[in-house]
Copies of this chain bind each other. A is one copy, B any other.
Amino acid sequence: MATIEVLFFDVLGTVVDWRGSIADEVAVFLKRHNLPHIDAHSFADAWVGNYDAAIEPIRSGQRAFTALDNINMENLKACLAQFGLAPSQFASSELEALNLAWHKLRPWPDAVEGITQLKKHYIVAPLSDGSTRLLVDMAKHAHLPWDMVFGADISRSYKPAPRAYLHACELLDVHPQRAMLVAAHGYDLDAARTCGLKTAYVLREHASDPSKVVDAGLSEKWDHRVNNLIELAKILTSAA
Residues of A within 8 A of B (CB): 67, 69, 123, 131-133, 136, 139-140, 147-149, 151, 153-154, 170-174
Asked whether, in the complex, the Cβ of A132 is within 8 Å of the Cβ of B69, the reply is no
Whether the pair A139, B132 counts as a contact (CB closer than 8 A) is no
Closest 5 CB pairs of A and B: A133-B173, A132-B171, A148-B149, A133-B172, A136-B148
7 contacts between A and B (CB under 8 A): A69-B173, A131-B173, A133-B172, A133-B173, A139-B147, A140-B147, A147-B149
A123 touches B140 (CB 8 A): yes
Inside 8 A of A153's CB, which chain B residues have their CB? 170-171
B171 touches A133 (CB 8 A): yes
Give the chain B neighbours of A123 by CB distance below 8 A: 136, 140
Return A33 CB to nearest CB of chain B, in Å: 27
Q: Are B171 and A154 in contact (CB under 8 A)?
A: yes
Sample of 16 further A-B pairs with CB below 8 A, known A132-B172, A133-B172: A67-B173, A69-B173, A123-B136, A131-B171, A132-B171, A132-B173, A136-B147, A136-B148, A136-B172, A139-B147, A140-B147, A147-B149, A148-B148, A148-B149, A153-B170, A153-B171
Pick the contact of A171 from B147, B151, B174 — CB < 8 Å? B151
- A51–chain B nearest beta-carbon distance, Å: 19
Shortest A139–chain B CB gap in Å is 7
Q: Which residues of B contact A140 (CB under 8 A)?
A: 123, 147
- Whether B173 pairs with A148 at a CB distance below 8 angstroms is no
